[in-house]
Chain A
């Protein structure tokens, strides 16, 4: 850091990302509350533990190889250039930069910001499969989606040098596709193999609602997710950078904030659009679900997710309408697919994240058609075909397919699903039985004491 202005900019950027990381922790807290609220009493601790242990497992693997992938894989696609070993050399786990280093204030906080996105991707999958998956199976999926598949998609479509940005004009500023479509697609692949919870479908195939045991916990959980999602939006930006540092086509000397592609935007713009798309989603979900609390809360999230691809560039009213339109589509699609394919998505994650991500990408292709995807020369402009191909890559190629293949392998080995008897007793059966046995003994002792007087 030579010069006070550079020092100030660097430390400001370091602090900025650090704050976003702390905010984003609330996403995981929210997911834990949401999942526990949605699960039945006999599965609480297992559901909680399943999601909590995503944190360390994805963290260590993201340190070992996930972060390296982001810098090595932007052009790892046939005809695009291969693995960038040199560009990624500073991000191997044995690099000096991946440690306590007085000359590098950014790598640690930037790594952490991406890591929190990784937890989110894994946690989205975790919600769909509650009450019947083995923890060991889910944690393997968590590592794969959190430290491999999503970060490959980020390298391809969420990196200034990613081949999808250059060749397709792919634009996904706040991750409709790179987090939500891929995680929703992955969850779909897993639940297709895993099967529904016992009792989810009647003999004639009619789906039954398995209501959450605690709607209040669900509500608070999703409010925490909203809060963390706001931090996520800030984390997707570069807070301040000079045009000469970007080194693209921007002229003049005006410093700016940018999106992940280093294209100019402002925190103010994305704050408008975050809130308006949240509102559009909530309002449409309230109407389309006839006031159902579960769907209304999720609809707010779905609204933001759909508008996220272009929320650096939309007008707030556009963001609101996109959020609202998306919710109507994904709500209908969720129930149609549930009935048609007998799929049990316990928290609606495939719809809220996966379908919303796809819808958001496609809408952005039309709404932002012809706009620059990057400040660099020679990149394709944003277009519907590029966005549709991008959605297929995110949801299908990097999401659904790997989730389905790994789940198939686990099912073939008999290590995917818990035994039926355990599902009926509940995964917390040991803790619950111990609790009830202890209660019975205490009550019996107290009655005996009273009787002896």
Chain B
């Protein structure tokens, strides 16, 4: 039992190609990868929007003045 089909290195390397596990599942892995990527954008966008909304509401003129003066 081996996840990449190789159980020892007693092979002719000229005949060895891919050695990653679960060969044949590349397309499914791509789908999972794309979902991970798009999901990240969604999570980040929602969090950033909430963060900016909160910041825009909580306006404290003294703090803004201090920030401006910090440069």
Contact = CB atoms under 8 A, between A and B. Distances in A.
Given A40-B70, A424-B67, 15 more contacts: A41-B70, A42-B70, A42-B71, A60-B33, A60-B37, A61-B37, A64-B37, A94-B30, A96-B23, A99-B18, A102-B13, A134-B52, A139-B44, A420-B56, A430-B55
Given A42-B70, A134-B52, A421-B55, A96 B26 contact: yes
A75 B53 CA distance: 46
Contact of B59 (A2, A134, A421): A421
A136 B67 contact: no
Contacts of B63: 425, 429, 433
Nearest to B48: A136
Nearest to A2: B14
A103 interface: yes
Nearest to A211: B71
B18 A96 contact: yes
Given A94-B26, A418-B52, A421-B55, A42 B67 contact: yes
Given A102-B16, A134-B48, A429-B67, A64 B30 contact: yes
Interface in B27-71: 27, 29-30, 33-34, 36-37, 40-41, 44-45, 48-49, 51-53, 55-56, 59, 63-64, 66-68, 70-71
Interface in A371-426: 415, 418-422, 424-426
Contacts of A102: 13, 16-19
Contact of B17 (A93, A101, A213): A101
Contacts of A63: 33
Nearest to B16: A102
22 contacts: A2-B14, A42-B67, A60-B37, A93-B30, A99-B18, A99-B20, A99-B26, A100-B19, A101-B17, A102-B19, A136-B41, A136-B45, A415-B45, A419-B53, A421-B56, A422-B52, A422-B55, A424-B68, A425-B55, A425-B59, A426-B67, A429-B67
A41 B33 CA distance: 36
Contact of A103 (B17, B23, B68): B17
Interface string A92-112: 011110011111100000000
Interface of A: 1-2, 40-42, 57, 60-61, 63-64, 93-96, 99-104, 134-136, 139-140, 213, 415, 418-422, 424-426, 429-430, 432-433, 436
Q: Is the interface of B mostly helix, strand, loop or mixed?
A: helix
Contacts of A426: 67, 70
A64 B64 contact: no
Given A94-B27, A422-B52, A100 B18 contact: yes
Contacts of A60: 33, 36-37
A383 to B, nearest CB: 42
Contacts of A99: 18, 20, 26
Contacts of B37: 57, 60-61, 64
B52 to A, nearest CB: 6
A430 B50 CA distance: 13
A57 B39 CA distance: 12
B65 to A, nearest CB: 9
Nearest to B57: A421
A136 B44 contact: yes
